[in-house]
Amino acid sequence: MHLQATETIRETAEEPLTFRQAKIEHYLQRTEDHLQMARYTTALRTLRTVYQLDPENSAARSIQKRITYYISSLVPDRPLDGNGQGKGMDVAPKLRRSELVLLVDQDERVLTSLTSTLRKYGFRAVGANCYDEAIEATSTYKPDLIVSEVNFENGSVGYDLYLWIRTTVQTQEMPFLFLATRIDRDMLIAGKRLGVADFILKPLDDDLVIASILNCLTRAKKNA
């Protein structure tokens, strides 16, 4: 009887540790997902949850170094802090191009795929999956070009973002491309009247995406 009670106490004591480890694994995976989407600020925020559960977690520290590695390529002169943006990091990815592209899409699979494509072609990339995150990324990293989905679940967020870009002094000349699952006549007319550079139809073709981005950047440089 005493032995049975002891086993019960041991199982009860182990349950919180097991649950905590499951939470740690979950947040580590989400951090990895955010990194693959180039959502660096979100990745850092998620990583803080891991540190709250396990301040000495080695996997978290490894991912933190990778996040710092990418952030250092976005703003190489920025002093980085101890919350994942480590100060003193002077190692940045060697990229073939200097332009920074902001990708905005609520579909995580699309965001991951686009980020991978841009990195493959040597671009710097930063991602966002909502309006607020896109505004934050634009203000923080000053991208050279924005590629955004038009329609989100809660409406035409892409147009809202575009109008914010065009009515903000610091960003009003920033090139802007739209992604869309369908492009009808009304959308084209509205986009052209607003000054949208181009529309790219989903499902995305990598070569077409890169060609559209290069064309848009070239036009922007000529206009400048």
Q: Which residue has the higher pLDDT, 13 or 68?
A: 68
Tell whether 144 is covered by a domain.
Answer: yes
Give the CA count within 13 Å in the CB-facing half-sphere of 139.
10
Shared-domain flag, residues 56 and 146: no
Task: Give me the pLDDT at residue 156, please.
Answer: 66
Task: Give me the pLDDT at residue 199, please.
Answer: 87
Question: Per the structure, how many domains does the chain have?
Answer: 2
Q: With 70 as the cut, is the pLDDT of residue 9 above it?
A: no
Average the pLDDT over 161-172 and give the result. 91
How far apart, in whole angstroms, are the C-alpha atoms of residue 28 and residue 37? 14
Task: Give me the pLDDT at residue 125, please.
Answer: 96
Average the pLDDT over 160-168 and give the result. 91
Is the pTM above the cut of 0.85? no
Shared-domain flag, residues 62 and 106: no
Tell whether 90 is covered by a domain.
Answer: no
pLDDT band, very low/low/confident/very high, at 185 (cuts 50, 70, 90): confident
CB 148 within 8 A of CB 139: no
Q: How far apart are the first and last CA of the chain?
A: 83
Shared-domain flag, residues 150 and 197: yes
Residue type, 86: G
Q: Where are the alpha helices (DSSP H) in 75-205?
A: 108-120, 131-141, 157-166, 185-194
Shared-domain flag, residues 156 and 198: yes
Q: Which residue has the higher pLDDT, 186 or 200?
A: 200
Could you list the residue range(s) of the whole structural domain that residue 136 is in? 100-223
Shared-domain flag, residues 70 and 15: yes
Q: With 70 as the cut, is the pLDDT of residue 78 above it?
A: no
Q: Which residue has the higher pLDDT, 17 or 126?
A: 126
Q: Is the dihedral of CA 22, 23, 27, 30 positive or negative?
A: positive
Q: Name the nearest CA neighbour of 121 among 102, 89, 151, 99.
A: 99
Task: Give me the pLDDT at residue 126, please.
Answer: 97
Task: Give me the pLDDT at residue 77, please.
Answer: 53
146: part of which helix (H) or strand (E)?
strand 145-149
Tell whether 83 is covered by a domain.
Answer: no
DSSP 8-class letter at 100 = E
Question: To which residue do tokens 């920074």 refer?
Answer: 100
pLDDT band, very low/low/confident/very high, at 155 (cuts 50, 70, 90): low
Average the pLDDT over 207-224 and give the result. 91
Q: Where are the alpha helices (DSSP H) in 54-169?
A: 58-74, 108-120, 131-141, 157-166
State the chain's mean pLDDT as an integer.
84
